[in-house]
Chain A
Amino acid sequence: MNLTTRRWIPHTIAVVGLLVLLYPLAWLLATSLKPADEVVTSLDLWPSHLEWSNYTTALDGVSGVPVTRLLRNTVLIAGGAVVGNVLSCSLAAYAFARLRFRMSKVMFAFMVATLMLPHHVVLIPQYIIFNRLGMVDTYWPLILPKFLATEAFFVFLIVQFMRGLPRELEESARIDGCGAFRTYWSVTLPLSRPALITTAIFTFIWTWNDFFTQMIYLFAPEKFTITLALRSFVDQSSTSAYGPMFAMSVISVLPIVLFFFVFQRYLVQGMATSGLKG
Chain B
Amino acid sequence: MSTVSTRAPARADRPAQSRPPAKRRRPRRREQQWPAYVFLTPWMLGAAVLTLVPMAVSLYLSFTDYNLFDPPQWVGLRNYQEMLTEDPRFWRSVGTTLLYVVVAVPLKLLLALGAAMLLKNLGRGRAFYRSAFYAPSLLGASMTIALVWRALFNDGGSVVDILGSVGIDTGGWVGNPDLAIYVIVLLTVWQFGAPMVIFLAGLQQISPELYEAAALDGAGRWRQFVSVTVPMLSPVVFFNLVLEMIQSFQVFTPAFAVSGGEGGPADSTMFYTLYLYERGFTASHMGYAAAMAWLLLIAIGIITLILFRTSRSWVFYADEEGR
Q: Which residues of A contact B (CB under 8 A)?
A: 10-11, 13-14, 17-18, 21-22, 24-25, 27-28, 31, 40, 43, 87-89, 91-92, 94-95, 99-102, 104, 107-112, 114, 116-126, 128-129, 131, 145, 147-150, 155-156, 160, 163-164, 179-181, 184, 205-206, 208-209, 211-212, 216, 227, 230-231, 233-235, 237, 239, 242, 245-246, 249-250, 252-253, 256-257, 260, 264-265, 267-268, 271-273, 275-278
Closest chain B CB from A52 CB (angstroms): 19
Of A27, A116, A131, A149, which is within 8 A of B46 by CB?
A: A149
Closest chain A CB from B252 CB (angstroms): 5
Contacts of B58 in A (CB 8 A): 121-125
Closest chain B CB from A127 CB (angstroms): 8
Please, how many angstroms separate the alpha-carbon atoms of A116 and B300 in the complex?
Answer: 8
Of A28, A89, A206, A272, which is within 8 A of B144 by CB?
A: A28
Q: A-facing mask of B122-162, CB < 8 A → 1, else 0?
A: 10010001111111101101111101110110101010011
Indicate the member of B38, B43, B68 with the most A CB atoms within 10 Å: B43
Cβ–Cβ contact A252 & B142, under 8 A? yes
Please, how many angstroms separate the alpha-carbon atoms of A179 and B147 in the complex?
Answer: 52
Of A100, A111, A268, which is within 8 A of B33 by CB?
A: A100
Contacts of B109 in A (CB 8 A): none
Cβ–Cβ contact B236 & A275, under 8 A? yes
For the complex with contacts A17-B118, A124-B58, A148-B50, 7 further pairs of A-B residues with Cβ separation under 8 Å are A94-B39, A118-B296, A148-B46, A150-B47, A227-B143, A234-B257, A253-B139
Cβ–Cβ contact B134 & A24, under 8 A? no
Cβ–Cβ contact A249 & B297, under 8 A? no
Cβ–Cβ contact B16 & A278, under 8 A? yes
**Interface flag for B55 (CB, 8 Å):** yes
Considering the complex, which residues of chain B in the window 268-323 have a beta carbon less than 8 Å from any beta carbon of chain A? 273, 276-277, 280-281, 286, 289-290, 292-294, 296-297, 300-301, 304
Please, how many angstroms separate the alpha-carbon atoms of A116 and B248 in the complex?
Answer: 12
A-side interface mostly: helix
Given A120-B276, A122-B50, do A253 and B36 touch, yes or no (CB 8 Å)?
no
Cβ–Cβ contact B122 & A14, under 8 A? yes
Given A121-B54, A163-B16, do A234 and B260 touch, yes or no (CB 8 Å)?
yes
Contacts of B243 in A (CB 8 A): 275
Contacts of B162 in A (CB 8 A): 43
**Interface flag for B37 (CB, 8 Å):** yes
Closest 9 CB pairs of A and B: A148-B46, A125-B54, A163-B16, A272-B201, A92-B43, A101-B36, A180-B35, A95-B39, A125-B57
Of B156, B200, B256, which is within 8 A of A211 by CB?
A: B256
Q: A-facing mask of B16-35, CB < 8 A → 1, else 0?
A: 11000000000000001101
Given A118-B250, A121-B297, A273-B201, do A43 and B158 touch, yes or no (CB 8 Å)?
yes
Q: A-facing mask of B202-220, CB < 8 A → 1, else 0?
A: 1001000000000000000
Contacts of B136 in A (CB 8 A): 21
Please, how many angstroms separate the alpha-carbon atoms of A209 and B202 in the complex?
Answer: 28
Contacts of A125 in B (CB 8 A): 53-55, 57-58, 61
Contacts of A94 in B (CB 8 A): 39
List 28 A–B pairs whose Cβ atoms lie within 8 Å, in order of A's numbering.
A14-B119, A17-B118, A18-B132, A21-B136, A91-B41, A91-B42, A92-B42, A95-B36, A95-B37, A99-B32, A99-B36, A114-B51, A120-B293, A126-B54, A148-B46, A148-B49, A163-B15, A181-B35, A209-B138, A209-B143, A211-B143, A234-B143, A237-B260, A242-B151, A249-B148, A268-B134, A277-B16, A278-B12
**Interface flag for B10 (CB, 8 Å):** yes
Closest chain A CB from B48 CB (angstroms): 9
Cβ–Cβ contact B46 & A123, under 8 A? no
Of A92, A184, A253, which is within 8 A of B40 by CB?
A: A92
Of B53, B205, B281, which is within 8 A of A216 by CB?
A: B281
Cβ–Cβ contact A27 & B158, under 8 A? yes
Cβ–Cβ contact B40 & A257, under 8 A? no
Cβ–Cβ contact A149 & B43, under 8 A? yes
Cβ–Cβ contact A253 & B144, under 8 A? yes
Please, how many angstroms separate the alpha-carbon atoms of A271 and B16 in the complex?
Answer: 18
Cβ–Cβ contact A275 & B201, under 8 A? yes
| Segment from B81-89, B99-107, B190-198, B223-231 that makes contact with A | B190-198
Chain B residue nearest to A237 in the complex (CB): B260
Contacts of B152 in A (CB 8 A): 24, 27
Closest chain A CB from B138 CB (angstroms): 6
**Interface flag for B239 (CB, 8 Å):** yes
Please, how many angstroms separate the alpha-carbon atoms of A102 and B36 in the complex?
Answer: 10
Chain B residue nearest to A20 in the complex (CB): B190
Chain A residue nearest to B135 in the complex (CB): A260
Cβ–Cβ contact B16 & A164, under 8 A? yes
Closest chain B CB from A41 CB (angstroms): 9
**Interface flag for B2 (CB, 8 Å):** no
Contacts of B68 in A (CB 8 A): 128, 131
Cβ–Cβ contact B289 & A124, under 8 A? yes
Please, how many angstroms separate the alpha-carbon atoms of A11 and B124 in the complex?
Answer: 9
**Interface flag for B115 (CB, 8 Å):** yes
Given A18-B129, A272-B197, A276-B198, do A10 and B42 touch, yes or no (CB 8 Å)?
no
